[in-house]
Amino acid sequence: MIQSGSYLNVIDNSGAKKVMCIKILNSGYQQKYARVGSNLLVTIKNIKFSDNNKVKKGELHSALLIRTKSTQLIHTYNYRKYFENAVILLDKKNKPLGTRIFGAIPKQFKYSKFLKLTTLSSGLSF
């Protein structure tokens, strides 16, 4: 379960490696835990050493939660579990900051407003 203070991996090529969750954004009330598909406010903790980074250490960005280690029951009564907690960084217009996504993303993003993520990723998972 992702909550404030959780460290997450970044799986796009924006230049960040690790981020820390500050707040869960897309809830009408104060939500304690985030699930796959939640928007988060994150700060960047580690960056890749490269000249073409789009982010800097300490910046605030919004992010979309793609994978969680905790087990989740999905609507087909199957369980979903990944090996890492991972996010994709978003810009102010909720578009992906990077141009590539490493690894597969859940199939639920194919039917949401984040359809562009399916074309940037390497595939879809259940």
3-state secondary structure of 8: strand
Looking at residue 28, what is its pLDDT?
63
In a domain, 60, yes or no: yes
In a domain, 2, yes or no: no
- For 74, the token pair is 């999905």
CA distance 11 to 63: 11
Task: Give residue-wise pLDDT tens across range 75-117.
Answer: 777 777 889 999 999 999 999 999 999 998 888 888 888 888 8
Residues in Cβ contact with 50 at an 8 Å cutoff, skipping those fewer than 6 apart: 15
In a domain, 102, yes or no: yes
Looking at residue 42, what is its pLDDT?
97
For the cut 70, the answer to whether the pLDDT of residue 1 exceeds it is: yes
The total of other beta-carbon atoms located within 10 Å of residue 77's CB is 6
CATH number at residue 80: 2.40.150.20
Identify the domain containing residue 11 by its residue range.
7-125
In a domain, 1, yes or no: no
In a domain, 84, yes or no: yes
Decide the pairing of beta strands 86-90 and 7-10. Answer: parallel
